[in-house]
């Protein structure tokens, strides 16, 4: 589906999407503040990380209330709804699905009551790789699902299955058993929790308010609510915040492997990851591109939005003039009015339009973030040539994407990735460019100012830092995105390996907003 934040992505054809973002999580503990409003604005700053569903859970000390629905943050919440969500702590989530279908049941935060009367609500950014194993264990314990089919609900269920333990103690038992990428924010009636997997694949940061604390996927969400950045939540760390203050516990030894793709595409340019500003990193990638793939040209242009910082860097390093060549419709976000077949044939023109006077007669360097299937670049090159460009040289601010992600980004299967079956010249011909250059993996890593050993590069080099559950799948092509669904200890239909649990067949239909309340 189209991105809801107005940013252009590779999703020009809803039937053939490109890389989809990870989710965004936010949590706040701030007695005396309007925590639902703070969470709303925090999620608004994280909308780029997921546009399928949004939800907020709040507690006033006596019970936990969750309100969630399919749609964008601004579509799900209005002022009366936020005014009804009163309390001193809250968590929120904006979702793109990587496990479980796009249904109301799979929207987050998930919520579960224990037999002792405690209620747990949880929001998750990332993707577990041992979901099938955990699901079988839950079934053996007699635990039943609540209609959802995502790994987040499974974790919430496991946390709630230990009524003899506090939520914090239960988390210290459950978290070490999870494999994969997870940045969690969760809560009970009185305490806000945050946890990050031992590899720290997905970002999670801690911030300070004048009268409280905030945790969020990106620093931009702290900025929007006026919180100061304290530090990142460390890999393998569990944080708990309540009336007694903040306490930290290690549940696993850290083995940092932060997602390299966050720097290229996912994170906002004003975010800071591992001490490195994302905009500055993208500028440096562009400079590196110019060193590695120089060309004689008249104008450097960037593909909005994530290609622009790298294009500026390319222009600075090469000495070629930077300018605008493509104008984006700022209101191309999610719509429920489908274009006619005639408009669909126009494709990218619904979202981008060339500045003809700027590109006519010019030799162009066009900088974009990634090539996945090549649909976007093919359409852009054709459009620029039709607008009068005499040469189109494509430069990509990431290496070829050749492997699927199992840790929270929904790439296509390996068979669908253009770089998997074609060499550089084949891809150049496929998209119609005069020349094509990708930044090297070493150049991209250098731009992050992080050691190679602290980064997950799997989508570029196929080296998966977290072992994939080959024993839970049938077939030898699991690393190529093909496996078999695991259910009831038997293998069924062929399914993508990212989805190891049964899926619900559902459409948006007439699903309505809903609030779920648990009070002891």
* Catalytic (active-site) positions: 23
Query: Residue 471 burial (CB < 10 Å; 0-12/13-18/19+)?
Result: exposed
Question: Is the distance from CB of 43 to CB of 94 less than 8 angstroms?
Answer: yes
Q: Which of 156, 154, 82 is nearest to 114 (CA)?
A: 156
Whole-Å CA distances, 103 to 53, 68, 487, 498? 9, 11, 20, 17
Q: Which of 235, 199, 261, 204 is nearest to 404 (CA)?
A: 261
CA distance 305 to 327: 10
CA distance 382 to 431: 8
Tokens of 235: 């890999």
Residue 127, phi then psi, degrees to nearest 5: -155, 130
Q: Which of 18, 43, 21, 37 is nearest to 108 (CA)?
A: 43
Tokens of 219: 């620093």
Enclosing H/E stretch for 138: helix 131-140
Kindly give the interhelix angle for 375-386 and 424-431, rounded to the nearest 10 degrees: 50
CA distance 289 to 312: 11
| 405 marked among binding-site residues | yes
Whole-Å CA distances, 201 to 137, 423, 434? 25, 29, 37
CA distance 52 to 58: 21
CA distance 81 to 64: 15
> DSSP string of 202-218?
S--EEEEETTEEEEESS
| 164 marked among binding-site residues | no
Cα radius of gyration rounded to whole Å, the chain? 23
| 459 marked among binding-site residues | yes
Quote the distance between the C-alpha of residue 147 and its chain's center: 24
CA distance 321 to 301: 9
Q: Which residue carries 């569903």 as its tokens?
A: 53
Question: Is the distance from CB of 328 to CB of 354 less than 8 angstroms?
Answer: no
| 259 marked among binding-site residues | yes
CA distance 101 to 52: 10
Question: Is the distance from CB of 299 to CB of 321 less than 8 angstroms?
Answer: yes
CA distance 251 to 391: 55
Annotated binding-site residue numbers for Mg(2+) = 306, 368-369
Annotated binding-site residue numbers = 259, 306, 368-369, 405, 456, 459
Annotated binding-site residue numbers for [4Fe-4S] cluster = 259, 405, 456, 459
């Amino acid at each position: 589906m189209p991105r809801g934040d107005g940013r252009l992505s590779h999703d020009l054809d809803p039937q053939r999407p490109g890389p989809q973002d990870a989710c965004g999580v936010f949590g706040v503990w701030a007695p005396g503040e309007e925590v639902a409003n703070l969470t709303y604005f925090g999620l608004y700053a994280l909308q780029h990380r997921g546009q399928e569903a949004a939800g907020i859970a709040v507690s006033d000390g006596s019970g936990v209330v969750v309100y969630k629905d399919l749609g964008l943050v601004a579509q799900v919440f209005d002022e009366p709804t936020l005014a009804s969500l009163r309390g001193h702590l809250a968590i929120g989530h904006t979702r793109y699905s990587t496990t479980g279908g796009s249904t109301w049941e799979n929207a987050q935060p998930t919520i579960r009551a224990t037999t002792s009367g405690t209620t747990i609500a949880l929001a998750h950014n990332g993707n577990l790789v041992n979901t099938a194993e955990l699901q079988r264990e839950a079934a053996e314990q007699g635990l039943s699902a609540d209609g959802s089919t995502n790994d987040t609900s499974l974790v919430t269920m496991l946390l709630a299955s230990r009524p003899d333990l506090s939520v914090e103690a239960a988390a210290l038992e459950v978290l070490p058993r999870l494999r994969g990428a997870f940045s969690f924010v969760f809560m009970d009636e009185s305490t806000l929790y945050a946890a990050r997997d031992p590899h720290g694949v997905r970002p999670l940061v801690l911030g300070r308010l004048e009268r409280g604390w905030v945790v969020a996927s990106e620093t931009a969400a702290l900025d929007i609510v006026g919180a100061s950045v304290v530090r990142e939540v460390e890999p393998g760390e569990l944080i708990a915040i309540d009336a007694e203050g903040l306490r930290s516990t290690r549940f696993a030894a850290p083995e940092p492997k932060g997602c390299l793709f966050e720097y290229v595409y996912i994170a906002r340019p004003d975010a800071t990851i591992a001490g490195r500003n994302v905009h500055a990193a993208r500028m440096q990638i562009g400079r590196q591109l110019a060193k590695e793939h120089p060309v004689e040209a008249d104008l450097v242009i960037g593909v909005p939005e994530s290609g622009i910082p790298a294009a500026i860097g390319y222009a600075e390093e090469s000495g070629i003039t930077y300018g605008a060549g493509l104008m984006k419709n700022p209101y191309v976000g999610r719509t429920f009015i489908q274009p006619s077949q005639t408009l669909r044939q126009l494709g990218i023109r619904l979202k981008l339009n060339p500045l003809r006077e700027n590109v006519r007669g010019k030799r162009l360097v066009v900088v974009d973030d990634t090539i996945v299937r090549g649909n976007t670049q093919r359409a852009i090159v054709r459009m620029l040539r039709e607008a009068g460009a005499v040469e189109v040289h494509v430069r990509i601010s990431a290496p070829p994407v050749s492997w699927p992600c199992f840790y929270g980004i929904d790439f296509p299967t390996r068979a669908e990735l253009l770089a998997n079956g074609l060499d550089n010249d084949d891809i150049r011909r496929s998209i119609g460019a005069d020349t094509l250059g990708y930044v090297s993996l070493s150049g991209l890593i250098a731009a992050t100012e992080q050691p190679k050993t602290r980064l997950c590069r799997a989508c570029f080099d196929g080296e998966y830092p977290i072992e994939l559950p080959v024993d839970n799948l049938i077939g030898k092509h699991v690393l190529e995105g093909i496996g078999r669904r695991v259910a009831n200890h038997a293998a069924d239909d062929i399914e993508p390996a990212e989805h190891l649990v049964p899926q619900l067949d559902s459409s948006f239909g007439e699903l309505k907003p809903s609030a779920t309340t648990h009070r002891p």
